[in-house]
Amino acid sequence: MGLREKLFNSSEEEYGEHYKSHYLEIYNTYLEMADRISSRRQSTNSFFLAINTAIVGFIGYVQLGAEKSPHFFYLVSIAGMILCYMWYRLIKSYKDINSGKFKVIHEIERNLPMSPYDAEWEILGRGKDSKLYLPFTNVEMRVPWVFFGVHLFVFVSSIPWGKLFQPL
């Protein structure tokens, strides 16, 4: 069963006189839901960006003070790396949800007199030509890995390398 068959449960004749008004109402609600997903996605990015910035700043502040146990830096950097991976997975999840939503939107638009979202996507080369359009997600998904690298650097630089290679 294809998307069209899953999306449309009944014909206009089977549904009745309110088919067109309900169709537009559902379409508008669906567009609003897609917009809300994007807003939640931005809030998620802001949250993780703030947390990671705070961790990196805190580590810098602590390093200015007295020498601390490397175990502290191990734990903080591992926590930071875990947060970055979770952030990356959430971005990917939001990307997948949005991709699905816009496939449905494009399918709904096939029955409307206009298809503005599908036309816009066509103008932008359907995301395949970076000269026309570089999907935000392509950039967005790299940010957690940049912070992951910073946390990994803190982890590796806090290892007491000299002590590891001392003779017993």
Per-residue model confidence as pLDDT tens digits over 66-99: 466 667 888 889 999 999 999 999 999 999 999 9
- Reading the block at residue 125, the tokens are 């080369």
168 is a domain residue: no
Query: Residue 90: which H helix or E strand, with range?
Result: helix 70-109
Mean pLDDT value across residues 36-65: 86
For position 49, what pLDDT does the model report?
93
Residue 158 to residue 111: CA distance in whole angstroms:
61
- Residue labelled with tokens 């950039």: 139
Averaged confidence pLDDT in the chain? 86
Give the tens place of pLDDT for each residue, 104-124.
998 888 888 888 888 888 888
Q: Is 111 helix (H, G, I), strand (E, B) or coil?
A: coil
Q: Which domain holds residue 150?
A: 18-158
10 is a domain residue: no
Domains contained in the chain, number: 1
87 is a domain residue: yes
For position 66, what pLDDT does the model report?
47
64 is a domain residue: yes
Q: What is the pTM of this model?
A: 0.78
Structural contact between residues 34 and 101, judged by C-beta atoms closer than 8 angstroms: yes
4 is a domain residue: no
Question: 11-20, 39-48, 131-140, 157-166: which range is least confident on average?
Answer: 157-166
Instruction: Return the higher-pLDDT residue of 144 and 11.
Output: 144
